[in-house]
Amino acid sequence: MEKNKDKPQPDPHNKDMQSSDTLLVLHNTRNTIGIIQNINPDGTINQTSPNQEHSDQILKIDPKDDSFTQFYSDFYHQLKNPEEFTFFKVTEYEAKETANDLQNYIDQATVEEIDELKDYAVSIDAVQAQLERQNKFSQFQQSKNIHPHLTENQYRYLPEQIDWNIMSKLNLTKEKLEQLNALEPLLKGYKTPTLIPITFNQGSIKTTMDVRLSLRLNDVGYLEVRIHPIRKEPDFTTKLFGHEFTKEDQLNLLETGNMGRVVNLINPMTDELTPSVISRDRLTNELIALRAEHIRIPLVISGVTLNEEQKKTLKEGKPLPIENMLSKRGTLFHATVQFNAEKRYVEFLFNRNINKSINSLQNHLQSKTFQNPLNTEIPTTFRGKPLHQWQIEKLKAGETAYINGLTDSKGKKYQGYISFDKNIGRFEFSFKNPKKEQKELSRNQSKGKGRKM
């Protein structure tokens, strides 16, 4: 083990050093786990035991999904008796530890529990269906002469399905979305990963705001652009599909972004009760509900194979502390994970300022209206430039907001900081950060006092 720890690990930020995938094999009759090396000409498998030092000889696969489907189809059909095996895809640096964990699990598992492992295995039927979809998608692309690099398993929509006339009314173009790295997530069926500035006209008034965008097919098959604006805070006063938020629910959503339990929500179409989990969009404060049946829990998280109790905890929406996980750099770490309904996957929870969350919750419970600590009107524009929502929120909180894109009388661009000057009772501009200058002044004063003593 010590020898393995000293082995250089890939830097996840270096594309040339990213780890490859490999395959673990479960022999269905013997219930033993091995790591694939290759296939012999007669269709039999060469493998290595998890306890043997042959990591440089194991099978290595391009981690891209579109490459894997074709590879696995070819690999599977070379096997002499493929029905005798079950295969699992893992990264090469997790292979040994995952294989050992799987073997320990299988040694103590019932027949039913071992059979359930097939839910996490690579399915040849699913791979073949995926290849067929990819082929049809490629044919469609060629017939339309569009984006031959896009594959159906990655993209849910095509650029030509988007109503670009609607996008232009929001001051957005295909090129602009590409520059903001927002087009690909939209085409994959996700929200934009960051806030996107949009502009639209309401009569003679021009409004600019930061939002997240998503695409959804409507009932008649047209692709609609959905706008997710920023809310000052989550709306806990209104029931969400019949659910009334407790103080603990509110605190959890403010602190971690996840409510932390499964609740029954009322289906507005059928009035049926649907077990669901709820999370908060941390960028917009929108509350997102997801049916519990759609929760997908991975078999392995960073090299740690989850037991039934751990999977049950995550399926119930609760946070789960896990120790001795293996990073891509080959180091052990501890962290808490939890299923996020907005992202639809198990996420790592990083340390958050719980006091800030508690104060935020207490302020919300004490008053339904936002109290401005400055007791003054917050501007929505400054020197003719509309302020973004995040800048307005900073000013509301009494903080300094950075602003750029300002233009002087000679047409020259400049940038700086806006802050509230208590001495004159209004918002003022500064080329330097006033708070940073104050800290430097205090530091210099402290040094001066030190020298005198």
110 Cα distance to chain centroid: 35
Closest CA to 98 of 23, 28, 10: 23
Closest CA to 298 of 28, 91, 83, 19: 91
CA atoms within 13 A on the CB side of 230: 18
Contact 2, 64 (CB under 8 A): no
Question: Cα separation of 358 and 173, whole Å?
Answer: 41
Helix (H) or strand (E) holding 201: strand 196-202
Q: What's the mean per-residue pLDDT of the chain?
A: 78
State the CB neighbour count (10 A cutoff) for residue 381: 9
Closest CA to 394 of 361, 427, 441, 350: 427
Place of tokens 């399915």: 123
Place of tokens 């009932």: 219
* Residue 238: strand, helix, or coil: coil
Helix axes 354-366, 247-255, angle to 10 degrees: 140
φ, ψ for residue 169, nearest 5 deg: -70, -20
pLDDT at 405: 78
pLDDT at 219: 54
pLDDT at 64: 57
Name residues of the chain where pLDDT drops below 50. Answer: 1-18, 144-153, 352-362, 364-374, 449-453
State the CB neighbour count (10 A cutoff) for residue 276: 24
Collect all residues with Cβ–Cβ distance below 8 Å to 63 and sequence separation of at least 6: 18, 19, 20, 21, 91
pLDDT at 358: 43
Q: What is the largest CA-CA distance in the chain?
A: 87
pLDDT at 453: 36
Token pair, residue 15, equals 């594309």
Dump strand ranges (E) for 298-422: 300-301, 304-305, 320-326, 332-340, 345-349, 381-382, 385-386, 401-407, 413-421
pLDDT at 393: 74
pLDDT at 297: 92
pLDDT at 9: 41
